[in-house]
Amino acid sequence: MKVGFIGLGIMGAPMAGHLQAGGHALFLHDLAPDLPPALLAGGAVACASNRAVAEQADVVILMVPDTPDTEAALFGPDGAAEGLAAGKLVIDMSSISPTATADFAARINALGCLYLDAPVSGGVVGAENASLTIMVGGPQEAFDRALPLFELMGGTMTLIGTRNGDGQVCKACNQIIVGVTVQAVAEALVLAAKAGADPAKVRQALMGGAASSMILENHGARMLEGNFEPGFRAELQQKDLNVVLSAARDLGVVLPLAATAESLYNALNARGQSKTDHSAVVTVLEDLASCQVSPKGR
């Protein structure tokens, strides 16, 4: 297929790489001037605008940070919508608002094109290993058309529902569990450190029991190493929990743990740590407890 890829950041670059390795022709654009050299060396075409991407590709994938970025990439000046022709497929794999997604999809459908929201979970490791979990909302025929592409990037792909926005709702649910679990791991390691128990041994022991999780393993390790290179930036976690709480407000749903986690990520961002990995939330708790989880400091 001729595949357009808009947003070649931490996640987009390795995802696009898998599509290229799978034999698809790539048409790329990013606001950042330097596109990944490996993709260009592999024959990907650098396009001057998102419109040019949509003119040349049959399927246009977006992997940009937030709701306003998807809106700008699709509908801004020289946006993809200006280059679309009837029959093309737009797939937004960014994590954004479900409500805005329904609106974007309706505007793309009005051009005679199909739309899928297909946010992912699994982080950079999942993007690099092509093992992402892909949560999809949109028509079955669009899902069927996109499936060969999803299979190159992910390990699990689920059509959550045929309404656009259903995939983003699933991603919001994912972020409740991720955001709260990162906080729980941080709390456990801070308690261990303050009590004088070795946080590394505590994590190691817990990995064999009921508290074991991918987050205890990966993010717990980051906290112990004091390694907060992203990964998943704290500002993106804050954005995702804002999506969660805004949906909760609209629907009248009580989400006390998500609300507490959001406050902690707000504090992290207010401390100037918005570009660090979200596991740096442990530093907020360390400072409140006057202790340190990482033997190396930070």
Burial of 83: CB neighbours in 10 Å, binned 0-12, 13-18, 19+ = buried
In this structure, what are the phi and psi dihedrals at residue 42, rounded to the nearest 5 degrees?
-85, 5
Distance of CA 149 to the CA centre of its chain: 17
Query: Nearest residue by C-beta to ligand NAD?
Result: 9
User: Applying CB under 6 A, does 262 fall inside the site for ligand NAD?
Assistant: no
The rounded distance, in Å, linking the Cα atoms of 190 and 139 is 46
Q: Find the binder of ligand NAD among 72, 173, 257, 291 (CB under 6 A).
A: 72
Respond yes or no: is residue 296 known to be catalytic. no
User: Applying CB under 6 A, does 28 fall inside the site for ligand NAD?
Assistant: no
Distance of CA 33 to the CA centre of its chain: 22
The continuous run of DSSP H or E covering 188 comes out as helix 166-195
Q: Find the binder of ligand NAD among 47, 64, 180, 193 (CB under 6 A).
A: 64
CB under 8 A, 24+ apart: contacts of 218-221: 218/123, 218/125, 219/182, 219/185, 219/277, 219/278, 219/279, 220/185, 220/189
| 181-240 residues near ligand NAD, rule: CB under 6 A | 231-232, 236
Query: Which CB atom, from 144 or from 217, has the smaller least distance to ligand NAD?
Result: 217
Q: Find the binder of ligand NAD among 30, 55, 117, 166 (CB under 6 A).
A: 30
Among 28-36, 157-165, 197-205, 256-264, which window interacts with ligand NAD (CB under 6 A)?
Answer: 28-36
Query: Which CB atom, from 269 or from 292, has the smaller least distance to ligand NAD?
Result: 269
Active site amino acids: 171
Q: Which stretches of the chain bind ligand NAD, using CB under 6 A?
A: 6-12, 29-32, 50, 63-65, 69, 72-73, 94-95, 120-121, 123-124, 231-232, 236
